[in-house]
A and B are shown apart, each in its own frame.
Chain A
Amino acid sequence: MRMMAAVLAAGTLWLVATGLAVAADRNLDIGRSAELWAFGRYDRLVPDSLLNPYNAALLPEKTAQVEARMHFDWSREFKSFGVKAVVEPRFIALREWTGMTTERSVYDNQRANLTQGFLRIEFPRDTITGGREVLIWGPGTFRSPSNPFYFDPQKTDPLADKNGIDLVRITHDAGVFRYTVGYVFSNAPVHPPPVDGVQHGTALLKLDRVGDDSLMSLVASVDVATGDRPFLGGFVQRTMGDAWLVYAEASVSRPALFLDPNTIGSPVPFVVRRPGSLGATGLIGASYTLENGQFVTLEYLHSSLGYAHKMEQRFFDQLRAVKAGLPVPAGVNPWRDVPQPFGADYLWCGWQSNPQNFNLSWRLDVAVNLGDDSAGLQGYIEKSFTPMLSGFVLVGFGLGNVDTEYGGIYRSRAVAGVKVFMW
């Protein structure tokens, strides 16, 4: 009830604001959309998990959720520039049933947040954007090594929402080249809080080159206050012939910390190194389009920042020791501070319906951690019943032993729901 009231209030507020704006200025363009999602979710957790012992993370087994995803935008063109404002609020109400802890519990929660809210000023060759904005780039689907803010942009999760970062950026279009300079105040919506509890600003520089059938980018970023978290990356994508798209993303960076598992028998299971060592992450991929518009994608990711096979085994061995009673040093959280990516080598394959098929969309994908031979398998399908209503189902499986990445938390998951396109 409270969530519906919030949605109605947002809609009313929008109507009033828009009405006033239109009355004052008939050159204002207004856009809006709103989707209401209602779905149920069942997660079968791994009972003897090492990554989530005794369900310490309080992951729910069952969830009933309703959420409203809205978009409002106002645009106005003046003689030599244009202005656009975008607001994307979210209203979420859910009930979670959590088990596998000392007692079963039911948890209710309602929350509202802003995924995007920014102002954009457009000159003929320059664009200035300030506020909260989703700034995802790169052709990779599984992960995005070329993006310092969105290494996992959750493109493989069709139900995950977008999350913007707070920034101001200026882009200059010089024809073939495009230059972006930016300052990110906070990427808290997409990253956990930093170890020192202070959100540092990050300077960003991006250079794009648009070719006839290719796109290249170079990206650099660094923590402005401390010089920490240096990042240098880029990507390239190229269309080959009629049906092939090939691409690569790469970066060199130094994470804020690295969780180093000690050898078994050590009195201290983990040591946190601050900052971590400089490491490289690279992804290569190719996508092939079939005659009917469906496409198949294959990607390989390697990262020296993740755990190679032996180190991963040491990590899980220490988790067993901790579960058996070995104390963890203060300030160390081995479940939170795992590296990104977790492993060193991955293979990802996806098969997807024609994106121009409006009535039925589906996707099958599998991600394999080549270091521990675990895999995550997922299928998603969405069917449009009417212009106002569609239904969707998502099924996923975690394959692998309990001391593996994809076999360590979930055995399976199933989600079923509907989307109502309100306006």
Chain B
Amino acid sequence: MNLDWRWGTGRRGGRRTSGWWEAASGKVPAASARRVALLASVLLLVTAFRMHAADLDAGDLLRRSDQARGGGLPGLVWTVYLENTGGDAAQQPPMTVAAEAIESASIAIVQAPANRRGWTMLQVERNMWLTKPSLKKPVPISPRQRLTGQVAVGDIAATNYAKEYAASYLGDEVVDGEPCRVLDLKAKTNRTTYDRIRYWVSVARTVALRADFMSLSGKRIKSATFIYDNTIAGPKGPILFVSRMEIADALTDGRSRLEYRDLAVKSIPAGRFDPDNL
């Protein structure tokens, strides 16, 4: 038996035959075999291209959905109102954070309550620092520390998942009656906030409606849902922007609600992201 992988269809004596089997069994004439081989190659290439295109689409979808959470814009400022429930939330009063972000950097400064006023988190590329009034200078924060706390630093700062994660398309699902593309995001390096994210992006609005944040082993750490009642003036027209994010801790009963307010697109001086200026 000839085990060459060739496929397509052919006719022999009026009977439609399975070209693949015929070719594999060595019963197809040479010229037809070449045509079959060519067709098979084309089909293989087309399939590979379509798979790659789906991933390209996934990447493009991710990039466009980032805009609704602060990524990819020339400069953006906003305020986050953060409230925790469950877990040890009884000891954590609501918090107000003022954030500014550009493509590669963001800074978040706590404005309330009084005992946390002035706490600042600065992110430049994958470097991160934390400072507060009682510290003499900013303290570098490791990627592992970004994940701790009921609300991780990465939840408040702008997201740039397109830069940090490789996206692949998993399928379609419906979230709250809205059709979504489901993306599997895998961290490109081990310095991102989360190792893996399952991301539901609305087909109609190209914004993320839901996210499951997971460890490398696939264990779910947190889940989040997003609401988009804000609109900002982007460089190419109005952009839907997140107005609320609800985070549920998968391991405890802790819940967090982040409300995004006072948004504006504006250019931000580079010195705002200089650790020497903290």
Find chain B residues with CB under 8 A from A423 CB.
114
Alpha-carbon distance A137/B275, docked complex (angstroms): 8
The answer to whether B136 and A125 touch across the interface, beta carbons within 8 angstroms, is: no
Contacts A354-B149, A355-B145 given: A384-B133 contact, CB under 8 Å?
no
B251 at the interface (CB under 8 A from A): no
**In the bound complex, do residue A210 and residue B149 qualify as a contact, i.e. CB atoms below 8 Å apart?**
no
- A162 to B274, alpha carbons, bound, how many Å? 19
Residues of B contacting A237 with CB < 8 Å?
140
Contacting pair A295 B127 (CB below 8 A): no
Contacts of B271 in A (CB 8 A): 120, 122, 126-127, 171, 173
Find out whether the CB atom of B145 lies under 8 angstroms from the CB atom of A69: no
Tell me how far the C-beta of B243 lies from the nearest C-beta in chain A, rounded to whole angstroms. Answer: 23
Judge if B134 is at the interface, Cβ distance under 8 Å. Answer: yes
Cβ of A213 under 8 Å from chain B: yes
The answer to whether A359 touches B126, judged by C-beta atoms less than 8 angstroms apart, is no
Contact B269 A292 (CB under 8 A): no
For the complex formed, measure the closest distance between the CB of B142 and the CB atoms of chain A, giving whole angstroms.
Answer: 4
Given contacts A243-B144, A289-B142, A422-B114, contact A355 B130 (CB under 8 A): yes
The reply to whether B125 and A71 contact each other, CB–CB distance below 8 Å, is no
Q: Tell me if A154 counts as interface (CB < 8 A to partner B).
A: yes
B42 interface contact, C-beta 8 A: no
| Cβ < 8 Å to A, chain B residues 139-155 | 139-145, 148-149, 153
Q: Are A213 and B149 in contact (CB under 8 A)?
A: no
Contacts of B116 in A (CB 8 A): 358, 387
1/0 contact string of A327-360 vs chain B (CB within 8 Å): 0000000000000000000000000001111110
Chain A residues within 8 Å of B149, by CB: 293, 354, 356-357
What residue in chain A is nearest B115 (Cβ atoms)? A421
B270→A239 contact, CB < 8 A: no
Are A127 and B137 also in contact (CB < 8 A) when A295-B142, A387-B93 are?
A: no
What is the size category of the interface that chain A forms with chain B?
Answer: 35 or more
Q: Which residue of B lies closest to A160 (CB)?
A: B136
Q: Which residues of B contact A390 (CB under 8 A)?
A: 115
> Quick check: A387 and B114 within 8 Å, CB to CB?
yes
Those of A43-69 within 8 Å (CB) of chain B: 69
Judged by a CB distance under 8 angstroms, whether B220 is at the interface is no
Using Cβ atoms and an 8 Å threshold, which residues of chain A touch B267? Answer: 124
User: Contact check: which of B142, B148, B270 meets A173 at CB < 8 Å?
Assistant: B270
Given A33-B117, A387-B115, A421-B117, A213–B191 Cβ distance below 8 Å? yes
Encoded as 1 (CB less than 8 Å from any A CB) or 0, chain B from 80 to 110 comes to 0000000010011100000000000000000
> Which A residues touch B92, using CB under 8 A?
358-359
Tell me the smallest distance from the CB of A129 to a CB of chain B, in Å: 8
Known: A171-B271, A242-B190. A356 touches B136 (CB 8 A): no
B: contact size bracket: 35 or more
**Distance in angstroms between the alpha carbons of A100 and B137 in the assembled complex:** 36
Contact (Cβ within 8 A) A421 B137: no
Is B272 on the interface with A (CB-CB < 8 A)? yes
Residue on A nearest B126 in the bound complex, by CB: A213
Chain A residues contacting B218 (CB-CB under 8 Å) are none
- Least Cβ distance of B276 to chain A in Å? 6
| Complex CA distance for A210 and B87, rounded to whole angstroms | 38
**From residue A148, how far is it (CB to closest CB) to chain B in Å?**
14
How many whole Å from A285's CB to the nearest CB in chain B?
11
- Cβ of B217 within 8 Å of any chain A Cβ, yes or no, is no
Q: Decide yes or no whether B118 CB sits under 8 A from chain A.
A: yes
| Distance (whole angstroms) from the CB of B256 to the closest CB of chain A | 13
Q: Which of B135, B137, B140, B141 has the most CB of A within 10 A?
A: B137
Q: Does A192 contact B (CB under 8 A)?
A: no
Check if A139 is an interface residue, CB within 8 A of chain B: yes
State whether A134 and B136 are in contact (beta carbons under 8 Å apart), knowing that A354-B148, A359-B91 are contacts in the complex: yes
Find out whether the CB atom of B137 lies under 8 angstroms from the CB atom of A155.
Answer: yes
CB-defined A-B contacts under 8 Å, sample of 19: A33-B114, A33-B118, A122-B271, A125-B270, A127-B270, A135-B276, A137-B137, A155-B135, A155-B136, A180-B276, A239-B143, A295-B142, A355-B139, A355-B145, A359-B88, A384-B115, A387-B113, A388-B113, A388-B115
Given A287-B142, A291-B144, A356-B148, 7 additional A-B pairs, CB 8 A: A124-B270, A127-B271, A134-B136, A245-B142, A293-B145, A384-B91, A387-B116
**Which positions in B face A, CB cutoff 8 Å?**
88, 91-93, 111, 113-119, 124-127, 130, 133-137, 139-145, 148-149, 153, 190-191, 267, 269-272, 274-277
